[in-house]
Structure 1
Amino acid sequence: MSLKSTTLALTLSLAAAGAWAGPKCDAPKDKWMKEGDFRAMVQKQGYEIKKFKVSSGNCYEIYGLDKDGKKVEIYFDPASGNPVERK
C-alpha cells in the first residue's frame, strides 16, 4: 500500500469514528437526575420512551417517539435534563 493510500485509509477511518460519536455530557455523576425522575420529566414533555440508556458520552439517551409520534433519538444532559442533540 502506498503512503497516499495509507493516509487516505487512516483519514476515512477517523472520519467514520467521529460520525458514530455522540455528544459528550460532563456533569459529575453525583449531580445527575435520578433515572426515574428523568423518565417522568421526559414523558411529561410528550416523549414515549422505547429504549433508555446512558450513552458512551455520559448523556441520557432515549429512542422513542416525540409528542407528534415521530421517531427520535435524543441525548439529554443528565444533570439538567436539557436536550443536547436530537437525531
Structure 2
Amino acid sequence: MRKTSLILACLAVYAASPALADDDCFVPMENWQPRDAVAGLAKEKGWTVRRIKIDDGCYEIDGRDAEGRQIEVTIHPATLDVIEFEYEDEDDDHDDDKRKGRDDD
C-alpha cells in the first residue's frame, strides 16, 4: 500500500511540474517583444529569416543558419530565449513525395 501511495505521489509531482511542461509559451501579449526584436536576434546569430510566425504562443522562425542549413527555431516571446532549435532535413519532403508517388524530378 505504501509503495502505491509513493508512486501516485511521484506521478502527481511529475504531472504538476512546470519545468516538464511542453514547449507552449504562456505570456500575456503586453509582455511580448516586438517582431522586429525577433528579426534582430536572428540577424545577430547569422540566420536568414524566411518567416516569423506565432505557434503555441511562441515565436517561431523558419529560415537558414549561417551555413545555409534549413532551421526551425522556437523563441520565447518575452525573453527572446531560444526554447527549441531544429535542423530541418530538406530531403525528407522529397522522400515523402517519392513514397506517395509524386516524384517531381
- Compute the TM-score of the two structures, normalised by the length of structure 1: 0.68
**CA-to-aligned-CA distance 1:7-56 (integer Å, 9 cap, x gap):** xxxxxxxxxxxxxxx8201122111101112211221111110111001x
Cα RMSD after superposing both structures: 1.4
Structure 1: stretches of 5+ with no match in the other structure = 1-21
Rg larger in structure: 2
TM-score (norm: length of structure 2): 0.57
- Higher RCO by CA contacts (8 Å cutoff, separation 6 or greater): 1
1:40 paired with 2:40, answer: yes
Runs of 4+ with deviation above 6 angstroms: none
Matches within 5 A, 1:1-87: 23-55=23-55, 57-87=56-86
Runs (5+) with no aligned partner, structure 2: 1-21, 87-105
